[in-house]
Structure 1
Amino acid sequence: MADRRLQVFHAVAKHGSFTRAAEHLFMTQPAVTFQIKQLEEHFDTRLLDRGHGKISLTPAGEIVLAYAERILGLSAELDSRVSEMTDELAGQIKIGTSTTIAAYWLPDVLESFKRKYPRVLPRVVVGNSKLTEERVAARDLDIGLIEIVTEQHNIERRSAARDELMIICSPDHPLAKFKKLSAKDLIAHPFIDRDPGNGIRQIADEFFEAAGIAGSEITLCAELGSLAAIKQLAAAGLGFAIASERAIRRDVLEGRLAAIRLEPRIYTPLEVLLPRDKFRSRLITTFADYVCEEFARMAKDKDAVI
């Protein structure tokens, strides 16, 4: 029920960018610009200063932002309170998720949740775990699904499940003949790493550090944010990578990749994040509980690839 112009202005002010606000709101940039122009005409004053590639709030903009946050918060709470008087859950939920969870865990969860609650509208934003964590902390998201353990005080975390991490490489790679591999077994071979901020990269770094191996000792083949690209390079024999078992299952079963267990075995956590001390609707609480239950079930029921 909140004024759409206030919603758009709030997003631009929080993101500091028309482009990022448009992405967050699932709008085009011209549409965002139009809404801001309409709001400035309504108040007959400039709310944003645009210059040198940066956006800043004018004194009037600071006042409008403070009231916009209160109005939008009350509007969301009103919608939730009224919808909770009915038996059926409905409304929008903003979900942030890591790339691996988005591709290999979340689709099954969303499918079954939507069948149960068809009037719910999930809006999913995909990024690495660190970015998702930051957006939950900033209250830009209702819920985050990531692969690192957060200690941020303004985030409530729930450990839903875990997935084993394995070495992947071409079936013809020299490493493919082993049943298990230690960190020292790997340093002679090119490594296809994840992008900074990725949860699996953080765990891999800790794995090598625990074995006393410095980053300078590792031969880096590539650093990629796309798991599909990582699997393609590994399958082509250009190096080895570390990936979660669920993400590689089909590739291994169909013979495109070999999977080797690490020694000691390591796991990626599946964490559900919620902003602490923020009004939480029945929809958000129900979805968070559902994700935890489904992730735990999927982790328990899956068949191992090796």
Structure 2
Amino acid sequence: MENRDWLILHELYQHNNITKAAQSLYLSQPALTKRIRQIEKDFGIQLVHRGSRGVQFTPQGEYLAKCAEDMLIRLQAIKDHVASMEDRVSGTLRLGVSSYFTRYKLPGLLKAFKTAYPDVEFQVMTGWSKDVYKLVYNHEVHIGFVRGNYSWRGGKHLLFDETICVVSAEEISLADLPHLARIDYQTDDLLKAVIENWWTDNYTQPPLVGMEVDKAETCREMVASGLGYAILPRFILNGNNNLHTIDLTDSSGAPILRKTWMFYHEESLDLNVVKAFVQFIEQMEMEGSV
């Protein structure tokens, strides 16, 4: 059983498809099939059943695939530890980052960190904050940047918070919202729940949704064109001063805030590259550069 075989099992289990697994591994289908047969021979089992809808793992194959995830994490931890035994800051820093933070904040931060530590490389995985949270929790990344109030018992640092606001091209009144066309967009479950709870606390009828789009940025542009109002985190407005905004507030009149966090496991600070990056971000936050 070679180290790459664990990766093969992991990718095949993720995709349940020989073609897609081969593509993700940059292997030909015959080469991948050959390695699968060799794994089956080594363990004396059948890993998968093939059908028209892809592959189905046998109980033995599913067990090995789950072991593969643990093995890959362990192998990466060994590599990280070996790299951290040197005095200098080097190696690969694995980051999980929410999509919005990736687009507006991450490039500048990585450029500045790379300038300070030129021997560091990056592996960045992006997605919804809930997915990034899982990546950090499962030790698949060293550090995660998430937006929202997630429960986390490990190391964490509040980077900034932002208000959530009603956004429109023309000035409108909150009292008129139930009768105005709203533009909705795909977002993470926590933000969606905050907006829905605010709405039900203030109105007895559902919003009049006139359009649904895939991204908050697209929603912002539709609002700017006068096609309706939206409820967006202020960060998404990206300095657009031509739009009218009204911050959401709770029953006491306090603004409803969405927080952006840096999460990591405390034991990860034993790695030079992780410790240096956490300290770097904390310093940048103190200087107001995040």
Range into which the TM-score falls when normalised by the shorter chain = 0.7 to 0.9
Matched, 1:233 2:218: no
Aligned counterpart for 1:195 among listed residues 183, 186, 189: 186
Matched, 1:204 2:190: no
Amino acid at match of 1:251: N
User: Partners of 1:280 and 1:196 in 2: how far apart?
Assistant: 35
Aligned counterpart for 1:244 among listed residues 233, 252, 264: 233
User: Partners of 1:61 and 1:29 in 2: how far apart?
Assistant: 19
**Compared CA separation, residues 130 and 81, structure 1 to 2 (3 A):** closer
User: Partners of 1:156 and 1:222 in 2: how far apart?
Assistant: 40
Counterpart of 2:38 in structure 1 is: 42
User: Partners of 1:55 and 1:109 in 2: how far apart?
Assistant: 42
User: Partners of 1:277 and 1:21 in 2: how far apart?
Assistant: 35
Look up the SS of the partner of 2:68 in the other structure: helix
Alpha-carbon RMSD across the aligned residues, in angstroms, is: 3.6
User: Partners of 1:93 and 1:32 in 2: how far apart?
Assistant: 29
**Compared CA separation, residues 277 and 86, structure 1 to 2 (3 A):** closer
Counterpart of 2:159 in structure 1 is: 160
User: Partners of 2:26 and 2:52 in 1: how far apart?
Assistant: 19
User: Partners of 1:152 and 1:167 in 2: how far apart?
Assistant: 29
Counterpart of 1:268 in structure 2 is: 258
User: Partners of 2:201 and 2:52 in 1: how far apart?
Assistant: 45
Query: How far apart are residue 137 of structure 1 and its match?
Result: 3.6
Structure 1 unmatched ranges of 5 or more: 176-180
User: Partners of 2:179 and 2:282 in 1: how far apart?
Assistant: 39
Per-residue deviation, residues 185-213 of structure 1 (Å, max 9, x unmatched):
533322222325254333322322333x3
User: Partners of 1:279 and 1:39 in 2: how far apart?
Assistant: 37
How do residues 97-176 of structure 1 correspond to structure 2 at under 5 angstroms?
97-151=97-151, 157-170=156-169, 173-175=170-172
Amino acid at match of 1:42: Q
Counterpart of 2:10 in structure 1 is: 10
Q: TM-score, normalised by structure 1?
A: 0.74
User: Partners of 1:49 and 1:78 in 2: how far apart?
Assistant: 33
Look up the SS of the partner of 1:163 in the other structure: strand
Query: How far apart are residue 135 of structure 1 and its match?
Result: 3.7
Look up the SS of the partner of 2:180 in the other structure: coil
Per-residue deviation, residues 126-162 of structure 1 (Å, max 9, x unmatched):
2222233334344443332221212377x76543321
User: Partners of 2:245 and 2:18 in 1: how far apart?
Assistant: 40
Look up the SS of the partner of 1:76 in the other structure: helix
**Compared CA separation, residues 97 and 276, structure 1 to 2 (3 A):** same
Among all aligned residue pairs of Structure 1 and Structure 2, give the percentage whose two residues are the same amino acid: 18
Which has the larger Rg?
2
Query: How far apart are residue 33 of structure 1 and its match?
Result: 4.8
Aligned counterpart for 1:287 among listed residues 277, 280, 285: 277
Per-residue deviation, residues 166-191 of structure 1 (Å, max 9, x unmatched):
33222xx242xxxxx65x45333222
Look up the SS of the partner of 1:217 in the other structure: coil
Amino acid at match of 2:163: E
**Compared CA separation, residues 250 and 151, structure 1 to 2 (3 A):** closer
Per-residue deviation, residues 16-46 of structure 1 (Å, max 9, x unmatched):
5459986xx9x64763856642431332364
Structure 2 unmatched ranges of 5 or more: none
Query: How far apart are residue 237 of structure 1 and its match?
Result: 0.6
Query: How far apart are residue 270 of structure 1 and its match?
Result: 0.3
Q: TM-score, normalised by structure 2?
A: 0.77
Matched, 1:186 2:177: yes
Amino acid at match of 1:283: V
129-138 or 94-103: bigger deviation: 129-138
Per-residue deviation, residues 98-136 of structure 1 (Å, max 9, x unmatched):
222122222222221222222322222322222333343
Question: Is the 8 Å Cα contact of residues 95 and 124 (structure 1) preserved in structure 2?
Answer: yes
